Structure 1
Amino acid sequence: MEMDNLILIGMPGVGKSTVGVILAKVLGYQFIDSDLVIQERKKRLLHEIISAEGVQGFIEIENQINASLQVHRAVIATGGSAVYGKEAMANFKSIGKIIYLKLSYEQIEERLSDIKGRGVALRDGQTLKDLYEERTMLYDKYADIIINEENLTVEETITTIIEAINI
């Protein structure tokens, strides 16, 4: 299987979906939002799944679905918690390049006013800062390419990705 997909990872609010849609158009790829795939397959909204199954249950569902994605010439925007799924990340590594869209904590905090409504998988008592610190290590670990988005527009981010992947 050739590695012809681009998988976007990173915190909620970094613009994985926004960047992903435009990047897919520019490259002539299909765009897949893994959160939407989960909602479609489970016939429920993310926050409904999290309420019903708990954060851990949601992460297991997300892992199974992401691990089963088999696509070609696609840009895949993942949920911020996708990196908790070992099988999912192994699948992504095998089908494409993993691109980490990186932003400082301050920028993410600014962008995420409505964190619960966005279906962000926060455990009880966990703050956004805790989540940021826990996940950035995983994003760094899995990334093939790291794009520092600090002070970049969406267009600049896309240009930087295209230069980095060298298509």
Structure 2
Amino acid sequence: MLMQQRNIVLIGMPGAGKSTAGILLAKNLGMDFIDTDIVIQNTQHKTLQAIIEDDGYLALRAIEESVISGLVCHNTVIATGGSAVYSTAAMLHLKKNATFVYLDVTLAQLRLRIHNYDDRGIAMAPGQTFEALFDERAKLYHQFADIIIHSSQQTAQQTTDNIERQLP
């Protein structure tokens, strides 16, 4: 099934379920788990939203690129932040030893799932709409994805089961 030392990287929009599915997947497969948003918060000693408010969304993206590019792990499920795909360098670093799984959730479903846009720490340009961000990122997610899971109407467990079935 899965090469023992290979990582699984989850990509997708905020609210797609990367962290929740990632924890379940790691548990089911006996793998480690890393949420890069939490790593960023721990290394910066502040929330993602505080980083955006203090330094701007591009600063958050730069920190994210640095954190992801510095990851050295094996046999790990990695839930990335939604904006991780803006860094080709970070994505290529992870691609060396990972299968990328895009959790594809419709815009309508994301709107139902996300209720805290203003304090969630979403790295988007001032004045940019969530819809514009969705359209912009979808192309990047497709570009890097090895596996695409259409998970709008799935529970976290159903999403995890679908990922497991499609892993090489």
**TM-score, scaled relative to structure 1:** 0.95
What is the letter of the counterpart of residue 91 of structure 2?
M
Say if 1:98 and 1:144, in contact at 8 Å, map to a contact too: yes
Say if 1:3 and 1:97, in contact at 8 Å, map to a contact too: no
Summarize deviations over 1:83-108 as a string: whole Å, max 9, x none. 01111101111121110000111001
What is the letter of the counterpart of residue 117 of structure 2?
I
Q: Which of 65, 74, 77 is equivalent to 1:75? A: 77
Q: Separation in 2 of the partners of 1:85 and 1:3? A: 24
Q: Separation in 2 of the partners of 1:114 and 1:48? A: 14
**What is the match of residue 33 of structure 1?**
35
| Structural RMSD (CA) | 1.2
| Identical aligned residues as a percent | 41
Q: Separation in 2 of the partners of 1:5 and 1:116? A: 32
Q: Separation in 1 of the partners of 2:107 and 2:26? A: 27
Q: Which of 93, 109, 112 is equivalent to 2:111? A: 109
Summarize deviations over 1:10-36 as a string: whole Å, max 9, x none. 000011000000110000001100001
In structure 1, list runs of 5 or more residues that go unmatched. none
Q: Separation in 2 of the partners of 1:161 and 1:86? A: 24
Q: Confirm whether residue 120 of structure 1 aligns to residue 122 of structure 2.
A: yes
SS of aligned partner of 1:98: strand
**What is the match of residue 51 of structure 1?**
53
In structure 2, list runs of 5 or more residues that go unmatched. none
Moved over 6 A (4+): none
**TM-score, scaled relative to structure 2:** 0.95
Q: CA deviation at 1:122?
A: 2.0
What is the letter of the counterpart of residue 127 of structure 1?
T
SS of aligned partner of 1:116: helix
